A and B are shown apart, each in its own frame.
Chain A
Amino acid sequence: MIRVQARTEQSTLMAFASPVLAIVLTLIFGSILFSALDKDPVQALHVLLIMPLSDAYNISEMFVKMGPLLLCAVGLSLCYRANMWNIGAEGQLLAGALGGSAMALQFVDSNSVFALPLTLLAGVVSGMLWAAIPTFLKLNFNSNLILTTIMLNYIALYLLIWAVHGPLRDPQGFGFPESALFSDATLLPVLTDQGRVHLGVVFASVFALVAWLILSKTHLGFKIRVYGSDAPAALYAGFSSKAISWFVMLFAGGLAGLAGVSEVAGPIGQLTPVVSPGYGYAAIIVAYLGRLHPAGAIVASIFLAILYMGGDLAQIEMGIPIAVVGMFQGVLLFFLLACDFFIRYRLVSTRDQVA
């Protein structure tokens, strides 16, 4: 007989093995699903996972998708460590795209050197403002952060759609819901000759490192870790929960805003009604898969970016609906949460047990 037994200490090995195990289980699930749909599972997995890395163009596209995922996930990792359930990265990203676009459109006929920095700044500030609303409401009016951030995601989306149909629409655009094209001075420089990979992915990597340093080397990071694992102890030690909450939320909002403005000033090059294929929601999975650690988020964001790419390719190559990506994301998080059980518990054979 096999029995479940609580571990005396949480397993560090399992904490690292769990994401890998979850990915493997998701792939097995995917193979079974594709077989059931009469699609060759080997070919499907090849298209989903290998093809995104098969040539320089695809790899550069993978980095284009990795940037916003990583930026959002790094911020969320800090939030979740501090017990701030911010589900609003999507809205903060959209706010960044909207604020950044409003600034970028002031420079349509300009090649000022300030165009790009001001556009990025506007994006970051917009994201921070969007994150400040639920933080303020939580700290002063005790509002449920999960619900307010979700509501603000929808509000940001409609605000963006309104702007792109109204004040920010290109007057010469024949009535299409799109802004004017941004001037070259407002666009993020592209890093390679081929493909669209731009400075955004560099921002993401830099901020992942910054967050790592904050978390492991600074007093503030120490406070966040203590507050997250034992809030009463942190309050007893005199840490201000308000200051910690404000910091993680503004940090996350700023990074998500940067992700948003980097999309419109990067691969898109103008404001359109569709800015994000749900990066802000996928970033929640990246954060968990990366064990709420910025370094882990780097690895996890690469995997989720490959999955996004693979979804595009699977639709083109095999006629598999793109929605399969969202489903796999959910399955992955399910398996991860299930595997995490073994961080706290282990299976033992009852025969080996000493009475």
Chain B
Amino acid sequence: MDIDLITQILFAAVKTGTPLLFVALGEVICEKTGVLNLGQEGMMLMGAVVGFMAAYGSGNAGIGIIGAMLIGSAMSLIFGFLVLHLGANQVATGLALTIFGTGLSAFIGSSVVGHTIPGFQPMHIPGLSELPIVGKALFSHDPLVYLAVVMAFLVSYVANRTRLGLTIKAVGENPHAANAIGIKVLRVRYLAVMFGGAMAGLGGAYMSLVYTPMWVENMTAGRGWIALALVVFASWRVGNIVLGAYLFGVASIMHLVLQGMGWSISPNLLAMLPYVATIVVMVLISADQFKEKLLAPRSLGKPFDPRQMA
């Protein structure tokens, strides 16, 4: 393999990992408060289509990003109301959100299929982008790639170093105890769910505004689900999520690698790789049942009903 190819692969892996990183960062906060939202795929698709339409209509990709984050949190509010206020099953409600988002995004997006938008200009970081190999691979990206890294630091800082992080942890580990010391459990969970929605919307917008950039029905192709898996096998740790997202970026662009090495394998078989990799990693990491039980938020997936406390 020559140097150019390594640069290309690294560049593409970072780009491919970025939407996964956005979505997984939102979901990890959501899960840390004890709420499992399987609607990531639906919220991503809505973020992708609304972000694209807003950017196309306004001619400004930044407005697209804001629109995508707003629609993502709006979608997550439907989920939040059903599971937090009505105590609906989180698995079923999350699935409903994905089915709804897939249908609705295809429905409203049919008018902008085939259009293109300008997207973002790459931002060369002075000094660093001149370095050999990594300069072009890591420091000549669009601004959202850097935003994802900044967000990862922020989420990690808030979760591990702040009072808010402690509150989130308390709600996720033992909502009854948190309630007893005066934490508004449902309010914390609502906010976490909305943060997850906004991040999923942002991840979707990255696909339609930067990655492709265009809108195609079902264009996220399961990335919302892969992000969910990522949270599980990162053991709810932000550092592992960052690493995992970029590793999955590599798995998703393996066809480039294999082509570079002169192999010829059907692109349809190579398209399976990220999904196969997800299963393999999940098997390797979850096999230790005891460890996973120890690391998962204790109240994950379980409803909390303040009515029954009175």
Contact = CB atoms under 8 A, between A and B. Distances in A.
Bound pair (A, B): yes
Interface of A: 4, 6, 85, 87, 137, 141-144, 146-148, 150-152, 154-155, 158-159, 161-162, 165-166, 281, 284-285, 288, 321, 323-331, 333-334, 337-338, 340-341, 344
Contact of A155 (B100, B228, B276, B287): B276
A142 B275 contact: no
Interface stretch (B27-35, B83-91, B192-200, B204-212): B83-91
A290 B240 CA distance: 41
27 contacts: A6-B307, A141-B287, A142-B286, A142-B288, A143-B279, A143-B286, A146-B91, A150-B225, A151-B226, A152-B275, A158-B275, A165-B266, A281-B99, A284-B95, A284-B99, A321-B107, A325-B103, A326-B99, A326-B107, A327-B103, A329-B100, A329-B103, A330-B97, A333-B96, A334-B96, A334-B100, A337-B93
A323 B107 contact: yes
B268 A333 contact: no
B225 A162 contact: no
Secondary structure at the A interface, as helix, strand, loop or mixed, is: helix
Contacts of B244: none
A151 B78 CA distance: 26
Given A146-B38, A154-B275, A329-B100, 14 more contacts: A4-B307, A137-B279, A143-B282, A151-B278, A158-B269, A159-B272, A165-B266, A321-B106, A323-B107, A327-B106, A328-B103, A330-B96, A330-B98, A341-B86
B247 to A, nearest CB: 16
Contacts of A141: 283, 286-287
A16 B98 CA distance: 25
B228 A147 contact: yes
A154 B279 contact: no
B225 A147 contact: yes
Contacts, number: 139
B291 to A, nearest CB: 10
A106 B275 CA distance: 31
Nearest to A165: B268
A174 B112 CA distance: 33
A166 B82 contact: no
B86 A338 contact: yes
Contacts of B264: none
Given A147-B225, A330-B97, A330-B99, A161 B268 contact: yes
Contacts of B97: 330
Contacts of A333: 92, 95-96, 99-100
B221 interface: yes
Nearest to A321: B110
Interface in B23-77: 38, 42
B188 interface: no
B95 A87 contact: yes
A337 B286 contact: no
Nearest to B269: A162
Shortest 6 CB-CB contacts between residues of A and residues of B: A330-B100, A326-B103, A327-B103, A323-B106, A333-B96, A162-B268
A285 B92 CA distance: 9
A340 B276 CA distance: 36
Contact of A323 (B78, B110, B278): B110
A337 B95 CA distance: 11
A274 B91 CA distance: 28
Nearest to A329: B99
A330 B92 contact: no
A341 B87 contact: yes
A152 B225 CA distance: 12
Contact of B88 (A87, A284, A341): A341
B145 interface: no
Interface in B90-121: 91-93, 95-104, 106-107, 110
B89 A154 contact: no
B259 interface: no
Given A4-B307, A284-B95, A326-B106, A340 B292 contact: no
B229 interface: yes
Contacts of B214: none
Nearest to B99: A330
A155 B272 contact: yes
A162 B287 CA distance: 31
Interface in B234-289: 266, 268-269, 271-272, 275-276, 278-279, 282-283, 286-289
A314 to B, nearest CB: 12
Nearest to B39: A330
A283 to B, nearest CB: 11
A252 B38 CA distance: 22
A321 B98 CA distance: 19
A334 B225 contact: no
A151 B103 contact: no
Contact of B287 (A85, A142, A159, A285): A142
Given A4-B307, A340-B88, A323 B103 contact: yes
Contacts of A288: 92
Contacts of A281: 99
